[in-house]
């Protein structure tokens, strides 16, 4: 495995983890998460906004 591909994979993994933290934080405080964070997690922003939370 090349160094750049390993670095690239680690970077993508950290981006996904960051998106997960951002989405969790937004939902915990009752806010709509940023669409790009939702898409990074494979969640359609339109479908997410249709979820009714208590």
Mean pLDDT of 12-16: 96
Kindly report the backbone phi and psi dihedral angles of residue 53, in degrees, each rounded to the nearest multiple of 5, phi listed first.
-105, 150
pLDDT per residue as tens digits for the range 30-50: 999 999 999 999 999 999 988
| Contact (Cβ atoms closer than 8 angstroms) between residue 48 and residue 33 | yes
* Tokens at 43, concatenated: 């969640």
| Contact (Cβ atoms closer than 8 angstroms) between residue 28 and residue 42 | no
Q: Which residue has the tokens 């690239």?
A: 8
Q: Is the pLDDT of residue 28 over 80?
A: yes
């Amino acid at each position: 495995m090349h160094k750049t591909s390993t670095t690239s994979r680690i970077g993508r993994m950290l981006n996904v983890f960051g998106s997960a933290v951002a989405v969790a934080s937004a939902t915990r405080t009752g806010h709509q998460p940023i669409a790009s964070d939702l898409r990074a997690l494979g969640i359609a922003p339109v479908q997410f906004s249709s979820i009714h939370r208590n």
